[in-house]
Amino acid sequence: MYRCVLALTLAVSCLAAQAQTHRFFTPQTLRGELVVTQHPDALLNGKPARFAPGSRVKGENNLLVQPAGITGQKLVVHYTVENSGLIMDVWVLNAAELANKTWPTTRAEAATWQFNGGNQTWIKQ
């Protein structure tokens, strides 16, 4: 019985570790530098930006983060924006995601590069 519990615990912890290092992003996800100044205001890539109502910020471990908790910090993130230009979803990058250096920072780059969703890589064309 003890071995079964130990094996199950190990399997769950391995899955949790993998989930924390390999999140999946869409082709609309861009990379940038985010500084929350005073929610809903922020600086995105050094330019003023605003969070959309209902926006979400997820930390390195994929748990929700309150924007007030990261105010003033300069973070490398993946993010999506609404058609209106407001920031919708933000993921603070973990070490594994930061290691994937090739990622578009603008919609124009994303439109000309090729995205492989299976291994979460971009190829410049």
The answer to whether residues 120 and 104 touch, using CB atoms and an 8 Å cutoff, is no
Domain ranges of the chain: 26-112
DSSP state of 71: B
What band does 19 get if pLDDT is binned at 50, 70 and 90? Answer: very low
Yes or no: say if 25 and 63 are a contact pair by the CB < 8 Å rule: no
Residue in 62, 47, 53 with CA at minimum distance from that of residue 106: 47
26-112 to CATH, choices 2.30.29, 1.10.3470, 2.60.40, 2.40.50: 2.40.50
Note the residue count of the chain. Answer: 125
Mean residue pLDDT of the chain comes to 87
**CA 91 to chain centroid:** 2
pLDDT digits (tens, 9 = 90+) for 49-99: 999 999 999 999 999 999 999 999 999 999 999 999 999 999 999 999 999
Q: Give me the numbers of helices (H) and strands (E) for the chain, helices first please.
A: 3, 7
